[in-house]
Amino acid sequence: MKKLLVLIAVLSLSVLTMAAVEIEFWHAMGGGHGATLDEIVNSFNEANPDIVVKPVYVGNYGALSQKLLASAESGNLPAISQAYGNWTAMLIPRGVVQELNSFIDNPDYGFTSEQWEAVWAPFKKMITWGDTIYAVPFNKSTYVLYYNTDAFELYGLTPPKTMEDLFFDAMMLTEDKDGDGEIDQFGMGFRTTIDHFVVFLRANGGKILDLGPDGKYKVVINSPEAHEALQFMYDMVHTYKIAYAQGGYLDGPFGDGKIMMFIETIASKPYVDRASTGKHGWAWAPVPMWKMQAPPFAGTDLIMFSTISEEQKLAAWKFMKFLLSPEIQAYWSVKTGYMPAVKTALETPQWKEYVNQHPDAVVPINQIDKGSVDPNIAEWYSVRTIVGQMVGDVLNGKRTIDEGLAWAEAELQKVLAGE
């Protein structure tokens, strides 16, 4: 903590100073992540006595989304908040989201070209609408393959590099261990959600929506690539019975030895570690290759609201810029497991020391340039709901794959048409 305070004191000398001002920061970071965020905020406040950042834990993402949308109507918004891209897209037309180009480009307190270049390109894409930047990246994660290292060693297996390898490993690891006729150890685990489906869909070269040359999205979910992705998941669960599927998170079944592999974001790391400690070892590997590598990104950005005073905007920008400094990004990443939002964090002593102790920390970093992003459109929440229902229906046997894709296609077309 002392080292962090010294670091922050040095950083604060390089940015603008201003009169005492208070800004409110809404977030959904609970548990250890919230504690780390509070630590960073408190340190910033101590190093910048002219600014008071007040972090407000609103609850989970659903609660934060509802509060932001309601507050946009009532005019009671904070200075800054976490937000998914589709939330930002819903708020932009209401005129309450502050554009950040004027801050980023300001010669006195903006980013240098080197600082802006340090932000990973996919993250820039997620915060930009047209030519306008409305956010800065915050807690970013990507999908990886978690696997039981004890089981892989016992069965003489190595982490799968392709989907064909994944299928083979899952088959080898599936067992009826007590001989009662029921499988009690599955090689693979799936969640019956859009997120797990999208991992396989994008790896197979497919999309849910496609941006046309006219700048409008069209529905392309009912494709051979989507059919193959769903068939692959369905066959593993039902035809070959080498995968276990449920709606909830899989760290529990993984820790208990019910599943030997599953794909999830790196944000699950502390939960996987907690569930596995004292039971078996674990590690992660890149998402296996299909036609391509395109693991989706997850996580939120930070947005500033235009409804605050000019003085508060400058204070909010100072804090947002501070959060993107390489040293703070390295600290945030090491403490929480999220990916650093800037490349320069990888050059800090703290990150290098962390990688020396945890070599697998580079796995998600090496996937960043290959990662895929969600369309940052207001309709994406409805898209997620529809596709999530379709995936659940198919994997639970309520619809055939053809029926599910046709239904989803029709429903998504209604959403994009504004019906």
| pLDDT over threshold 50, residue 17 | no
Q: Do 122 and 52 belong to one domain?
A: yes
Q: Do 336 and 281 belong to one domain?
A: no
Q: Do 355 and 382 belong to one domain?
A: no
- The DSSP-derived string for 123-191 is HHHHTEETTEE--EEEEEEEEEEEEEHHHHHHTT----SBHHHHHHHHHHH-B-TTSSSS--BBSEEEE
DSSP 27: E
Q: Do 273 and 364 belong to one domain?
A: no
Q: Do 25 and 111 belong to one domain?
A: yes
Given this model, what pLDDT does residue 197 score? 97
Which of 370, 391, 408 terminates a domain? The answer is: 370
Taking residue 163's Cβ as centre, other Cβ atoms within 10 Å add up to: 19
Given this model, what pLDDT does residue 215 score? 86
Q: Cα–Cα distance between 237 and 170 in angstroms, integer?
A: 11
Containing domain of residue 80, as a range?
2-141+298-370
Total number of domains constituting the chain: 2
Given this model, what pLDDT does residue 8 score? 52
Q: Do 22 and 48 belong to one domain?
A: yes
Q: Cα–Cα distance between 389 and 386 in angstroms, integer?
A: 5
Q: Are 16 and 318 in contact (CB under 8 A)?
A: yes
CATH of the domain at 114: 3.40.190.10
Q: Do 265 and 136 belong to one domain?
A: no
| pLDDT over threshold 80, residue 9 | no
Calculate the average pLDDT of the chain. Answer: 94
DSSP 378: T
Q: Do 250 and 208 belong to one domain?
A: yes
Given this model, what pLDDT does residue 15 score? 47
Tell me the average pLDDT across 220-241. Answer: 98
Q: Cα–Cα distance between 141 and 126 in angstroms, integer?
A: 13
| pLDDT over threshold 80, residue 104 | yes
* pLDDT confidence tier of residue 200, bands split at 50, 70 and 90: very high
* pLDDT confidence tier of residue 118, bands split at 50, 70 and 90: very high
Our measurement of the distance from residue 274's CA atom to the centroid of its chain's CA atoms, rounded to an integer in Å, reads: 20
Greatest pairwise CA separation for the chain in angstroms? 72
Q: Cα–Cα distance between 47 and 416 in angstroms, integer?
A: 48
* pLDDT confidence tier of residue 419, bands split at 50, 70 and 90: confident
Tell me the average pLDDT across 369-395. Answer: 95
* Helices 326-336, 31-47: inter-axial angle, 10-degree rounding: 150
Buried b (16+ CB within 10 A) or exposed e, 114-146: ebeebbbebbeebbbbeeebbbbbbbbbbbbbb
Q: Do 189 and 288 belong to one domain?
A: yes
Q: Do 105 and 120 belong to one domain?
A: yes
Q: Are 142 and 297 in contact (CB under 8 A)?
A: yes
Q: Do 189 and 268 belong to one domain?
A: yes
Q: Are 223 and 409 in contact (CB under 8 A)?
A: no
| pLDDT over threshold 50, residue 401 | yes
Q: Do 365 and 269 belong to one domain?
A: no
| pLDDT over threshold 60, residue 45 | yes
